Amino acid sequence: MRVVELLRDERPTFSFEFFPPKTEAGVAKLYATIEHLAELDPGFVSVTYGAGGSTRDTTVETADHIRNRIGLETVAHLTCRGHTADELDSVIDRLGAAGVENVLALRGDPPKGSPADQAPGAFAFARDLVEHIVGRGGFSIGAACYPEGHVENRDKQDDLCRLVEKVNAGSEFLITQLFFDNAFYFDFVARAWALGVAVPIVPGLMPVTNVGQLQRFTEMCGATVPHRLRTRLEPVQDDDQAVMAVGIEWCLDQARDLLARGAPGIHFYTLNRSLATRVVCRSLQR
């Protein structure tokens, strides 16, 4: 099933993002988590791709397992930074052989401590990767988008123009960076529509479960934490259960508002955990 077909359905599509663990124990725990979440019948799950291809093999193996052993539709992330076209083709061939039909095409980041320069022959932008995969054929291609602007490009209009290029190159659906204020999403969608972007734009949400982790994530991606959310979290930041309760309630309110106002679904950034995501998703399904 091509993800774009799911997203054009009248019913909202719920999906989950996971990252490949580094240890065998982590892999076993991840598969158990996914099997628990599979009970919610998600439209698809996505598997991230480490900086500079650092999880290239495990991304393919994880996507293969989820699709063919657990039985969930899978979107494999693929980044072009640090890869030549031949190296990318090798990954694309393996995904195709595993029956993975959906790819999220990203520029990606260099591995930590490595120079940001492109490897000789590597693609510079996600748009180039989209064009390359389109040329190969056989895949439904998604791309990332940034309601608050990319952390490396705070000129929102210029960033939106780069998005239009990715869509024109062949991206069939978009998944947003996480955000905690729905006003950013609806403003972004309106501006994208005004420029002719007509593909589904799926909002990405993350139930907060740890205040320190929230701080690190938002500093890294540039997402804004609303004052009202901060004031609810600060008094309970050392109480994990209380933090999770606040995070679940906030995420659930966000999701209900997004769906009521026309979002095609919700993509959950799970951080390889199931409890908070399961509670939110189950509540939405009710």
Residue 153: phi, psi to the nearest 5?
Answer: -150, 90
Q: Of 10, 17, 61, 249, which one is the catalytic site residue?
A: 17
Structural domains of the chain, count: 1
Q: What is the pLDDT of residue 141?
A: 98
| pLDDT tens column, 206-264 | 999 999 999 999 999 999 999 999 999 999 999 999 999 999 999 999 999 999 999 99
Q: What is the pLDDT of residue 10?
A: 87
Cα 169 from Cα 186, distance rounded (Å) = 24
DSSP-derived secondary structure for 217-263: HHHHH-----HHHHHHHGGGTT-HHHHHHHHHHHHHHHHHHHHHTT-
Closest CA to 170 of 242, 103, 113: 103
Cα 205 from Cα 181, distance rounded (Å) = 10
- pLDDT band at residue 9, thresholds of 50, 70 and 90? confident
Q: Which residue has the tokens 């599509």?
A: 13
**CATH code, 27:** 3.20.20.220
Mean pLDDT to the nearest integer, 173-190? 98
Mean pLDDT to the nearest integer, 136-165? 93
| pLDDT tens column, 190-212 | 999 999 999 999 999 999 999 99
In the predicted structure, residue 115 carries a pLDDT above the cut 60: no
One-letter amino acid of 207: P
Q: Which domain holds residue 241?
A: 3-285
- pLDDT band at residue 70, thresholds of 50, 70 and 90? very high
One-letter amino acid of 105: A
Please indicate whether residue 5 is annotated as part of the active site. no
- Counting every residue written for the chain, the total comes to 286
Mean pLDDT to the nearest integer, 270-280? 95
Whole-number average pLDDT of the chain: 92
In the predicted structure, residue 138 carries a pLDDT above the cut 80: yes
* Percent of the chain predicted with pLDDT > 70: 94
Residue 203: phi, psi to the nearest 5?
Answer: -75, 135
Alpha-carbon distance values, 187 to 45, 76, 181 (Å): 26, 28, 11
Q: What is the pLDDT of residue 276?
A: 96
In the predicted structure, residue 102 carries a pLDDT above the cut 60: yes
Mean pLDDT to the nearest integer, 56-66? 90
In the predicted structure, residue 109 carries a pLDDT above the cut 80: no
Q: What is the pLDDT of residue 113?
A: 55
| pLDDT tens column, 21-40 | 888 899 999 999 999 999 99
- pLDDT band at residue 163, thresholds of 50, 70 and 90? very high
Q: Which residue has the tokens 């929102």?
A: 156
Mean pLDDT to the nearest integer, 68-76? 96
Run of H or E residues at 141: strand 140-145
Q: What is the pLDDT of residue 279?
A: 97
